[in-house]
Structure 1
C-alpha cells in the first residue's frame, strides 16, 4: 500500500510500518481525557458566568483546546496513520496550557494587589504583559517548526530536522520563561511568609493560594517533560512511550485546571484589602489588570 494513502485514510496498525507516534494511542485514555476536560470546561463556563469573572473564561478555552487535542488522539487510536488527527493533537496540546497560565497570571496579580507591592518583585499587570508575550512568541516559533517538520514528514526521504530543531527552540524558550515565572512566584511566596502577609487574607483565600501553587507546579512539570521529549526527537524514548504522555501531560493538565473548579477564583478571590481606603485603589488596579488582559488576549482567544 502507498504510504501516502495511509496518511489520508483510516487504516489499522500494519505490522512493520510505524505510526507517527511510534505506537497506537490508547482509545480509553483518549476518551477519558476528552470527558475529564469536557466536564471541567462545562463547569468553568458555568462558574465564570455565574460569578461574572469573565477573565476566567481562559480556563474554559484551555479545556476546549485540550478536548480537541485528545479527540485527535482518540481518532488516532482508530486511524493511527492519519496525518490530520496527528497534527490536530500535537498542535492543540502544545497550545492549551498557555490559557491556563494566563489565568494564573491574573490570580497571582490579584494576590499581589491585595497583599501590597512589597509582596512581589514585579507589578501585578507586568505578569500578563511579560509572560503572556513570551508564551505567544514561543507558540509562534513552535507552530513554525511544527509546520516545517510535518511538511517534510509527509515526503519520502524528507528532512524533519530543521522543523524539529525550531520546535525545540520554541519549547525551550517557553520553559525558560515559565522558569522565570516560577522563580518570581516562589519569591512571592517567600515574601508572603517572611513578612507574614498571609494574615491579610481571608480564610477562603488561603485554599485558592494553595490551589494556585499546585497548578503552577503541575504546569512546570509538564513543561520540563515536553522540553525533554521534543529534544530527544521524533523517535526518542519519551515521545514513543505513551504512558509518559498520559501521566506527565494529560494528568498534570487536568489537575492544573480542575483544581480551579473546586476552588474557583470567582468565589474565593478577595475583592479588597482590610482597609476601606485601599478598597478603591484595589478596584482601580483590577480594572487596569483586566484591561491589560483584554488587550493581550482579547483578539487572540
Structure 2
C-alpha cells in the first residue's frame, strides 16, 4: 500500500509539472510510469486479504486452498508489474533517443491487460466463494457449512469485519475499473481522444484511486482483523476459565484456539489468521 501510494503521489506531482511545461520529458515519463504501475501494488495488498477471509469462513467453501489465492494472484501481479516497468523503461529510452514509443507502449499494455485479467478472475472467484458460502449455509446449516471455532465465529459476526469486507470489495471494483480505463487509454496511443480528456482522467484515475485507498484506510485489515481476533480471544479465554473452574482446575492461561484433541497446539485456522 505504501509503495502504491508513493507511486500515485509522484505520478500526480509529475502530471502537474507536465501541465506547467508540456515538453518536460522527465515529468511526462514519471507520470506515465508511476500512474501505470501504482495500482498493481494495491491489487497485491487486496490479494493477500482473501486468504484470511477464506480461513474465517472455512476452506470447505472454497474451490482453492486459502494459500493458493495468494500464490497465484501475487505471481500474476508480479508478472504484470514487471511488464509495466519494462515497458516504461523502453518507452523512456525511446523518447530520449527520439524514437517511436510503440514497443514500450505495447509492453505496458500487455502488463495492464495481465493485471485486468487477473483482477477479473479474482472477482469471479470471490463471487463464487460468496455464493458457495450462502449455498452451503442454506443446504447444510451454519453449524456445518462454516467453521465453528469460537474466535472465527466472533470475527464473522463483528461489524469491523463486515465493514472490512465491504471496503475490500469496493476497492477491488474501483481498481479494476481504473485499470480497464488505463488499458483503453494506452491502446489508443498518446494522441488518442482519451489521453487528451482531462476530465475523464480525473474521474477515472485520482477519484477512483482515492476512493479505493480511503475505503481500505477506514477499514484497514490491521485494525479490523486483529481487533476482532483480540475480542474473540478474550471471550474464548472466559469460556476456558469457566470450564476449568467447573472441572476443579485453576484458570490457567491457555491458548484460546486449543481444541479438545490438542491442548498445546494452535488450530490451523487461527495459525493462518496470524
Q: Normalising to structure 1: TM-score of the pair?
A: 0.69
Where do 1:1-301 residues align within 5 Å?
A: 59-156=1-98, 158-196=99-137, 200=153, 201-204=156-159, 205-269=161-225, 270-271=228-229, 276-277=257-258, 280-287=267-274
Pair 1:77–1:159, CA change in 2 (3 A): closer
Q: How much does 1:75 deviate?
A: 1.9
Moved more, 194-203 or 226-235: 194-203
- 1:206-256 deviations in whole A, cap 9, x for unaligned? 111111111111011111111111111121121221222211111111111
Q: CA RMSD in A?
A: 2.4
Q: Hey, what's the Cα distance between the residues in 2 that align with 1:248 and 1:119? A: 35
Q: Hey, what's the Cα distance between the residues in 2 that align with 1:148 and 1:267? A: 41
- 1:85-130 deviations in whole A, cap 9, x for unaligned? 1111111112211222222122211111110012322222222221
Q: Secondary structure at the match of 1:96?
A: helix
Q: Hey, what's the Cα distance between the residues in 2 that align with 1:136 and 1:222? A: 18
- 1:132-167 deviations in whole A, cap 9, x for unaligned? 1111111212222222223333444x2222222222
Q: Hey, what's the Cα distance between the residues in 2 that align with 1:254 and 1:120? A: 31
Pair 1:276–1:284, CA change in 2 (3 A): closer
Q: Per chain length, whose mean CA-contact separation is higher, i.e. which structure has more relative contact order (CA < 8 Å, sep 6+)?
A: 1
Q: Hey, what's the Cα distance between the residues in 1 that align with 2:100 and 2:19? A: 26
Q: Secondary structure at the match of 1:195?
A: helix
Q: Hey, what's the Cα distance between the residues in 2 that align with 1:119 and 1:96? A: 32
Q: Hey, what's the Cα distance between the residues in 1 that align with 2:103 and 2:45? A: 33
Q: How much does 1:277 deviate?
A: 4.4
Moved more, 143-152 or 110-119: 143-152
- 1:251-296 deviations in whole A, cap 9, x for unaligned? 1111111112222222222436989447632232235xxxxxxxxx
**Contact 2:164/2:219, CA 8 A, preserved across alignment:** yes
Q: Secondary structure at the match of 2:23?
A: coil
Q: Secondary structure at the match of 1:164?
A: helix
Q: Normalising to structure 2: TM-score of the pair?
A: 0.75
- Structure 2 residue runs of 5 or longer lacking an equivalent are 147-152, 237-255, 260-265
Q: How much does 1:67 deviate?
A: 1.2
